[in-house]
Amino acid sequence: MSHSGLDLFCWKAKENGLKITPQRTAIFRVLLKAKDHPTADDIYKRIVKKIPNISFDTVNRTLLTFSEVGLIKVVEGYGQAKRYDPDLGLHHHFRCIRCGRIIDVHNKDYDNIAVPAEITKRFTVTSKKVVLEGLCGTCGKD
């Protein structure tokens, strides 16, 4: 059985002894709808419309907790603010070097890239991801 959405949230929370609070549930709901790999600040701006008294610190700590227990992923960083990815499925990223958008890329060939033996001899590889960079459709037009 696969767990997705709020089911996954309840299941993972239980497994990790995480209390399911209305704030945590609300933050997770916002994450489920986010397709843009938002920062903590982006999430805060969305959640504060629903829960006006929530603090940025709460949102930030909750996101860190979620990533620690495997509910969401932290997007591979570039030294900027952490960006979060609620899509735990295997996929790849295209990052626009001008506007900073991170767009999901799905490609079977990328999924099946083999890790060379010289690398597996040195490291234990637990995930593989292709990251493409360039100009997105909007930025590439001028």
Interface ranges with Zn ion (CB under 5 A): 85, 87, 96, 98-99, 104, 136, 139
Which residue has tokens 């945590």?
Answer: 24
How near is the Cβ of 103 to Zn ion at its closest, in Å?
8
Q: Which is nearer to Zn ion, 29 or 92 (CB)?
A: 92
Q: In the block, which residue shows the tokens 């570039």?
A: 78
Nearer to Zn ion, 13 or 96 (CB): 96
* 26 φ/ψ angles, rounded to the nearest 5 degrees: -65, -40
Among 56, 61, 26, smallest CA distance to 42 is for: 56
Q: Which is nearer to Zn ion, 51 or 87 (CB)?
A: 87
Q: Minimal distance in Å, beta carbon 135 to Zn ion?
A: 6
> Residues 27, 72: contact at Cβ < 8 Å?
no
Minimum CB distance to Zn ion, residue 121 (Å)? 29
